[in-house]
Amino acid sequence: MVLLGNYGISSPDSSPPSVLTNGIPRFRIDRAKQAAYSELLRRSKMSLPDLIRHVRGETRSDPRLNKALHIPDHLPSWKPYRYKDQWRNIVTHRVRPTWRNSFQEQKKPLRMTGRPYEL
């Protein structure tokens, strides 16, 4: 990321997103990237939302979160595709969830069923 270099911060090496522990993948936070971005926030005085927008590649002219999404209208399967209007709307305006007006009141907290593990 060029922005890191502008503030004298070297780009961190990639670290594996997960490790196997007894055959089970354990997903990890990339500590080197976390440290570099934290230092960037301190030095640049940039807000966290602005950093996230920068990392995602959002710009004023193209604020879409996922630039890889496109409308495949050149494919033969697109014409009969049932959800093409919804797809076009997501590509153009991103996902906009809708919520029910009311939710049931929760009388008591949910019981913890899992056990946290150490990293």
pLDDT at position 40 is 95
Domains of the chain by residue range = 1-62, 64-97
pLDDT at position 80 is 94
Provide the mean pLDDT of the chain: 84
Q: How much of the chain is helix, strand and coil, in % rounded to 5? A: 35, 5, 60
Residue 82 DSSP class: T
What type of residue is 105? E
Supply 117's token pair. 């593990």
Which is more confident, 115 or 51?
51
Which is more confident, 40 or 27?
40
Is the C-alpha dihedral spanning 104, 107, 113, 118 positive or negative? positive
Which is more confident, 115 or 107?
107
pLDDT at position 114 is 64
Does the pTM surpass 0.85? The reply is no
